[in-house]
Amino acid sequence: MLIFDADAWIICPIVFPLAASIFFFLSRRTGPVAAPVAALATGVSIIILLRQLLLFGPRHYYIGGWQAPLGITLRFDGPAVLMLAMTGLTGIGITLYARGYFSFRIAAPKRVGRHERQERFFWPLWMMLWAAMNGLFLSSDIFNLYVTMELVSIAAVALAALSGKPASQIAAIRYLLVSFLGSLSYLLGVVFLYKTYGILDLDMLQDIAGAAPGTRVALALITIGLLLKTALFPMHFWLPPAHANALAPVSAILSGLVVKGSFYLLFRFWFEVFSGAISIGALNMLGILGAGAILWGALQAMRQQRLKLLVAYSTVSQLGYLFIAFPLASLEGNMKVWGAVIFMAMAHACAKSAMFMAAGTIYLHIGHDRINELVGIRAYLPVTALAYAIAGVNLMGLPPSGGFIAKWLLLSASFNSMQWWWGVVVMVGSLLASVYVYRVVCQLFIIPEGYTIKKQYPRSHLLEWPAFTLALISLLLGLFAPYPLHILTIGSSNVATIIPGGPP
Amino acid sequence: MMSTNLLYSLTGLVLFALGLYALIVCSHLLRKILASNIMSSGVFLMLVSTAYRAGNGKIDPVPHAMVLTGIVVSVSATALALVLACRVQETSNVTLVREEYQHDTSGA
Amino acid sequence: MSREGVLLICILLSSALPGIIIFGLREESTRLRTGLNLLGASLKLTLVVAMDIGIAQGRVFEVRLLLMPGVEIFLNGDPLSALFATLSSVLWFLTTLYAVGYLEESPNRSHFFGYFSLCVTVTIGIALAGNLITFLLFYEMLTLTTYPLIIHRGTEKALLAGRNYLVYTLAGGGLFLFGVVWLQSIAGALDFSSTGLPVDLLGKYHTELVLIFALLIIGVGVKAAIVPLHGWLPQAMVAPAPVSALLHAVAVVKAGAFGITRIVLDVFGIENVLRLQLLPSLTIAASLTIIYGSVRALQQDDLKRRLAFSTVSQISYIALGVGLADQSLALIGGLVHIVHQGLMKITLFFCAGNLAETLGIHRISQMNGVARRMPLTMAAFTVGALGMIGIPPTVGFVSKWYLGLGGLASGNWWVLAVLVVSTLLNAGYFLPIVTAAWFGKQAGPWPQDRKFGSLETNWMLLLPPLVTAFIIMAVGAVANARFSPLAWVRFIVREYGI
């Protein structure tokens, strides 16, 4: 087993989509046909990885046999595999949806050439992004993380600009500049770390990083960089236009997945690698920004006139919950808060991409997404309307959705750590979320008296069912909470101690 | 006494700050792109200066590898930014990024 | 999992599965849909009765599923849940029959019956919940499953009503969740038990517990329509008649009242609630609601609105009984009213639906002489109305009798006064309807007159109110029999050792 030992499975989630990306770029006609296969292969490799995690525990893999500090180390543990699974699940859904989306557009009589061109560029870029995301979750080296992050950003920007409309291009270039700034800030942080410790490997850093001034500066720079990319309020300004003006599958990718990547890094940096260097004040600061994001994003979402902008602002709002976890994680047993964060991320990924897919389907069918004119969608897109509503339930945090579990864990942590005010923010955020979800759902489900369907559309199952399935997964995720929470504890050094009673 | 190493680092930091200032203040797209390039040069300068190890006179190779990779990344990002900037100018004849273009009300 | 546990799961699945299948059915497959509905309903009824017998024999019905570490979904069939579950499944069976007849030609029936089944599933879930978190889960899901039913017609008015419903219930649900998490952080995940909270917490967390109690009661009080949280209920009348019947008699309002019962009796425990001196406020709120609802009902001309305000008033009898929980007689009166109010109110709503569907009558002023056209319907209506007023031998009398005795025994004379005033008001708003229907003169042609052969209306619409009217009389007449609701409630109350 010299060439391909068991540990080598770890590179498959990166290599499969990467290979697919290159292949689709070289032979552009194969993309639409082979993309679902590539997505499925990636999914299977993630399942195998998950199984290995359950059987053998967390592992390291040294690419080419070069050990740290020289070589590039990959590692997988509970949180990483969960994020891989999140990306994989949502990614398969998005891939199928994108198939339906592009063939629906190509089937439409106008501007066929342009739509075909868009599709041919979509597949390689999307596979590249997926590979980079997986690389980001698996890397164990702060410089390698920089590279994967840049790859994610470049692919994401190119995807965001794909629709070719002026608004989307301006949004994309702004996105690029912001994320470039974020990356540079991160890289500067890496420089400081390397200057202080001469180490790039995360595990080694975790062992020796203390509260030295150099570490603090590095952590601050890294944090600012990642916050810019995660679009935490008030650094969210670039997100709504970029997400709302992109093509629907791209919006789903950007909103559901890409922002989670930088957040994931941030969380691990704060609570694993540099847990010695963080201060309560800084944690509270992030919590306050998170609270601001929840409220501001929700208020903005409530007053949008366009569906996709509304959904984009709701992403700003939902990201805030992830940051509420920071002040709670410091005092309360970490398991709850890690669980809340992971659940929030997973449920939001499924729900938000389902929402953007539904919005895209609606847009394709009626040619606009003005909220006040969405009346009667249920009559001819029942599955899509239902998908949107179910995803909305998740954002509102009602049981049995994954969002409910996340909010329950956050609330419970806020009471147990005597910081109930964060709980109040969570509750208020949920109520505001129900307002903006309701605004749309109510329009979708009205069927005015005497309403007749004006136009018959070709039915496209690939447009409707992936969104519905993802929404349903986000809804039922709450019922299977013990499994992810168990996986979470595998190999994450700060979480391991806490679950009472062990696996389900 | 200021060591050479420190001089490089500080120069890098100054470049970074200059670039950041220009990135925020200038509204012309090309200037913004140039500013971000200056920033990255600053970071690379700092990074490469860490290769110097006082005392034993040996040089740490890892930062060089990192800077090389970083330059590649930065070049590709710049290329993408330039292409996008050209596109933006072609399609909407805009070279400035301002708030009013962000909220297109017509639909995606 | 034990056999008893499997039974509990089956009780939930017996309506959940048909509901999910019905969602997938095409609009035209009426027979299959009706068959599934009735099959599910009768299966559920059988299973619930089996559970009742088991509970009477002292068997333990429990299922535990891990939801999160430290948080369990716990289903538990105790006598109190059996009471609510039995009521729900009996009335669901009848309402299903009624709904099939009522919606015979209206659009979107698959949607309707799908949510209808899910709604009953979560109601039974509320009944079977064995701890507060399980209760919360089903309680929130109840909001989600009833909302589509309320806006089923899709008109502006229905949507407005739906919006108000959501505003009230989601806000209430938020407070409830807050209270539950808070309580859990103090007391841990407690199962419902007749002793309630550990006593040593009382001294340590006095203020917190009072606040939590307030949060929880407000949370469930929204659905129980306690004044001033009742605003959504009269508006929700725009829903189709079977939905109103279900909302008022079985699902939403009753779930709220049931929640109050659970919180006082099984979460806090009677002893603790007395020590914290929380009951007087509950009693006063309930009394105010009783009077307020009756007064408002007097002013309504729209039949369903009048019934709605009557619900506001009547449901608070349950809260009143629970508020006097230190007196076993009052508690019996309150608990038994869970069943009795359901029976009476569902009869009245069935009849109101019949009038609307057959003759297009919506307002009371149109009802003069209607009993000659629809004697059976109006007979059932009369029985329900007399029950509401509390005239023997109907069930309404039994509830009021016990409540009054309990009030006297506790030395609260004003409770009796509340009951008397309320009874007079009930008579004031029901008797005119009854007399006008039987003895009034028909003013003109009915707004719309549909013929159904020799019967006064569709048999599926006629049978359910007749059955419930019969039950009202029968249960009232044999209130002391061995398996009457009253006997069962006595069996429940004995557990609390008052």
Report pLDDT digits (tens) over A222-237. 999 999 999 998 899 9
Could you tell me how many helices (H) and strands (E) chain C has, helices first?
Answer: 21, 2
C104 found inside a domain: no
pLDDT of residue C295: 93
Could you tell me whether strands A59-62 and A73-76 are parallel, antiparallel, or unpaired per DSSP bridges? Answer: antiparallel
On whether any CB of chain A is under 8 Å from the CB of C141, the answer is yes
pLDDT tops 70 at residue A453: no
A457 — phi, psi (to 5°)?
Answer: -105, 150
Whether the ω angle into residue B61 lies within 30 degrees of 0, i.e. cis, is: no
Give chain A positions within 8 Å (CB) of C184. Answer: 412, 415
pLDDT band at B1 (very low <50, low <70, confident <90, very high): very low
Give chain A positions within 8 Å (CB) of B80. Answer: 154, 157-158, 176
Per-residue pLDDT tens over the stretch C353-403: 999 888 888 888 888 888 888 899 999 999 999 999 988 888 889 999 999
pLDDT of residue B99: 46
Give chain A positions within 8 Å (CB) of C106. Answer: none
pLDDT band at A502 (very low <50, low <70, confident <90, very high): very low
Per-residue pLDDT tens over the stretch C426-471: 999 999 999 999 998 888 888 888 777 778 888 888 999 999 999 9
Task: Identify which of A393, A411, A430 has the shortest CB distance to residue C181.
Answer: A411
- Report how far residue C284's alpha carbon sits from residue C281's, in angstroms, rounded to the nearest whole number: 5
* Whole-number average pLDDT of chain A: 87
- Report how far residue A476's alpha carbon sits from residue A472's, in angstroms, rounded to the nearest whole number: 6
Question: Which residue is it, tokens 């359910």?
Answer: C464
Give the CA diameter of chain A: 73
CB A130 within 8 A of CB A149: no
C62, containing H or E segment? strand C61-68
On whether any CB of chain C is under 8 Å from the CB of A331, the answer is no
Question: What beta strand segments (E) does C318-433 contain?
Answer: none
The verdict on a CB contact (< 8 Å) between B39 and A170 is no
Question: How many Cα atoms are found within 13 Å in the side-chain-facing hemisphere of C136?
Answer: 34
The verdict on a CB contact (< 8 Å) between A478 and C163 is no
- Report how far residue A396's alpha carbon sits from residue B55's, in angstroms, rounded to the nearest whole number: 60
Fill in the amino acid letter for A439. Answer: R
Per-residue pLDDT tens over the stretch B29-88: 899 999 999 999 999 999 988 887 766 667 888 888 899 999 999 999 999 999 999 988
Mean pLDDT of A284-297: 94
The verdict on a CB contact (< 8 Å) between A408 and C185 is no
pLDDT tops 60 at residue C117: yes
Per-residue pLDDT tens over the stretch A95-123: 999 999 998 888 877 777 888 888 889 99
Mean pLDDT of A164-184: 91
Residue of C64, C185, C209 to mutate when probing chain A, most A C-beta within 10 A = C185
pLDDT of residue C196: 83
Task: Identify which of A157, A163, A173 has the shortest CB distance to residue B85.
Answer: A173
First to last CA, chain A: 34
C478 found inside a domain: yes
CB pairs under 8 A between A and C: 81
Per-residue pLDDT tens over the stretch C53-71: 999 888 889 898 888 877 8
Query: Structural domain tally of chain C?
Result: 1
Beta bridge partners of A74: A61, A139
pLDDT tops 60 at residue A287: yes
Contacts of A311 (CB under 8 A, 6+ apart): A243, A244, A251, A255, A301, A352, A355, A356, A359
Give chain A positions within 8 Å (CB) of C181. Answer: 408, 411-412, 415, 423
Q: At what angle do helices A420-445 and C156-187 cross, to 10 degrees?
A: 160
Three-state DSSP class for C455?
strand
On whether any CB of chain C is under 8 Å from the CB of A411, the answer is yes
pLDDT tops 50 at residue A1: no
Domain, as residue range, for C409: 344-498
Query: Structural domain tally of chain B?
Result: 1
- Report how far residue B5's alpha carbon sits from residue B50's, in angstroms, rounded to the nearest whole number: 8
Three-state DSSP class for C256?
helix
CB A341 within 8 A of CB A475: no
On whether any CB of chain C is under 8 Å from the CB of A20, the answer is no
Output the CA–CA distances (angstroms, integers) from residue A464 to A359, A367, A386, C111, in the order listed: 11, 17, 10, 18
Q: At what angle do helices C252-262 and C206-223 cross, to 10 degrees?
A: 160
The verdict on a CB contact (< 8 Å) between A241 and B60 is no
C446 found inside a domain: yes
Tokens (6 digits) for C144: 């989600």
Nearest Cα to Cα of residue C176 among A408, B10, A123:
A408
Q: SS3 for A311-333, per residue? A: HHHHHHHHHHHHHHHHHHHHHCC
pLDDT of residue B50: 85
pLDDT of residue C291: 93
pLDDT band at A2 (very low <50, low <70, confident <90, very high): very low
C348 found inside a domain: yes
Q: Is B63 exposed, middle or buried (0-12, 13-18, 19+ CB in 10 A)?
A: buried
On whether any CB of chain C is under 8 Å from the CB of A375, the answer is no
Per-residue pLDDT tens over the stretch C191-238: 888 888 888 888 888 899 999 999 999 999 999 999 889 889 888 888
- Report how far residue C124's alpha carbon sits from residue C250's, in angstroms, rounded to the nearest whole number: 10
Give chain B positions within 8 Å (CB) of A183. Answer: 73
Output the CA–CA distances (angstroms, integers) from residue A445 to A68, A155, C158, C441, in the order listed: 57, 36, 11, 43
Percentage above 90 pLDDT, chain A: 51
Could you tell me whether strands C61-68 and C71-77 are parallel, antiparallel, or unpaired per DSSP bridges? Answer: antiparallel
pLDDT of residue C393: 82
- Report how far residue C378's alpha carbon sits from residue C437's, in angstroms, rounded to the nearest whole number: 7
ipTM (interface predicted TM): 0.89
B103 found inside a domain: no
Give chain B positions within 8 Å (CB) of A168. Answer: 108
pLDDT band at B3 (very low <50, low <70, confident <90, very high): confident
pLDDT band at B95 (very low <50, low <70, confident <90, very high): low
What are the DSSP calls for C336-352, one per residue?
HHHHHHHHHHHHHHHHH
Whether the ω angle into residue A79 lies within 30 degrees of 0, i.e. cis, is: no
Nearest Cα to Cα of residue C278 among C189, C213, C233:
C213
CB pairs under 8 A between A and B: 123
Fill in the amino acid letter for C287. Answer: S
Sign of CA dihedral A8, A10, A12, A15: negative
B104 found inside a domain: no
Task: Identify which of A168, A251, A306 has the shortest CB distance to residue B105.
Answer: A306
C125 found inside a domain: no
- Report how far residue C443's alpha carbon sits from residue A29's, in angstroms, rounded to the nearest whole number: 77
Sign of CA dihedral A61, A63, A66, A67: negative
- Among A180-184, A468-472, B51-55, C12-16, whose mean pLDDT is lowest? B51-55
Percentage above 70 pLDDT, chain A: 92
The verdict on a CB contact (< 8 Å) between C178 and A423 is yes
Whether the ω angle into residue C228 lies within 30 degrees of 0, i.e. cis, is: yes
Task: Count the neighbouring beta carbons within 10 Å of the beta carbon of residue C440.
Answer: 17
Domain, as residue range, for B44: 4-98
pTM for the model stands at: 0.88
pLDDT of residue B97: 56
Three-state DSSP class for A164?
coil
Per-residue pLDDT tens over the stretch A238-264: 999 999 999 999 999 999 999 999 999
CB C169 within 8 A of CB C223: yes
Task: Count the neighbouring beta carbons within 10 Å of the beta carbon of residue C439.
Answer: 11
Q: Which residues of B touch A (CB under 8 A)?
A: 9, 16, 20, 23, 29, 32-33, 36, 39-40, 43, 46-47, 50, 60, 62-63, 66, 69-70, 73, 76-77, 80-81, 84-85, 87-88, 91-92, 94, 97, 101-108
Mean pLDDT of A330-336: 64
DSSP state of A6: G
pLDDT of residue A210: 76
Task: Identify which of A150, A161, A369 has the shortest CB distance to residue B107.
Answer: A369
On whether any CB of chain A is under 8 Å from the CB of C151, the answer is yes
Tokens (6 digits) for A414: 């806020």
Mean pLDDT of A422-445: 89
pLDDT of residue A500: 33
pLDDT tops 90 at residue C10: yes
C479 found inside a domain: yes
pLDDT of residue A503: 34
The verdict on a CB contact (< 8 Å) between C181 and A442 is no
Beta bridge partners of C455: C452
On whether any CB of chain C is under 8 Å from the CB of A500, the answer is yes
Nearest Cα to Cα of residue C134 among C65, C196, C51, C69:
C65
| Greatest mean pLDDT among A206-210, C272-276, C494-498 | C272-276
- List the chains bordering chain A where 3 or more Cβ pairs fall under 8 Å: B, C
The verdict on a CB contact (< 8 Å) between A69 and B62 is yes
Task: Identify which of A400, A431, A479 has the shortest CB distance to residue C170.
Answer: A431
Could you tell me whether strands A73-76 and C61-68 are parallel, antiparallel, or unpaired per DSSP bridges? Answer: unpaired
- Report how far residue C77's alpha carbon sits from residue C283's, in angstroms, rounded to the nearest whole number: 28
Tokens (6 digits) for C86: 């039995």
C222 found inside a domain: no
Q: Do chains B and A touch (3 or more CB pairs under 8 A)?
A: yes
Query: Following CA atoms C164, C168, C174, C180 in sequence, which dihedral angle do they give, to the nearest 10 degrees?
Result: -150
pLDDT of residue A495: 46
Per-residue pLDDT tens over the stretch A378-427: 878 888 998 999 999 999 988 889 999 999 989 988 888 888 899 999 99
C468 found inside a domain: yes
pLDDT of residue B55: 65
Instruction: Report H helices in C205-278.
Output: 206-223, 232-235, 241-245, 252-262, 270-275
- Report how far residue A90's alpha carbon sits from residue A133's, in angstroms, rounded to the nearest whole number: 12
Mean pLDDT of C254-273: 92
Instruction: Report H helices in C151-251.
Output: 156-187, 200-204, 206-223, 232-235, 241-245
Task: Count the neighbouring beta carbons within 10 Å of the beta carbon of residue C244.
Answer: 27
The verdict on a CB contact (< 8 Å) between A434 and C140 is no
Give the CA diameter of chain B: 65
B83 found inside a domain: yes
Residue of C106, C111, C153, C181 to mutate when probing chain A, most A C-beta within 10 A = C181
pLDDT band at C480 (very low <50, low <70, confident <90, very high): confident
Output the CA–CA distances (angstroms, integers) from residue C96 to A28, A415, B5, C376, in the order listed: 57, 43, 84, 20
B81 found inside a domain: yes
* Among chain B residues, CA nearest to A188: B43
* Whole-number average pLDDT of chain C: 89
Residue of A191, A221, A362 to mutate when probing chain B, most B C-beta within 10 A = A191
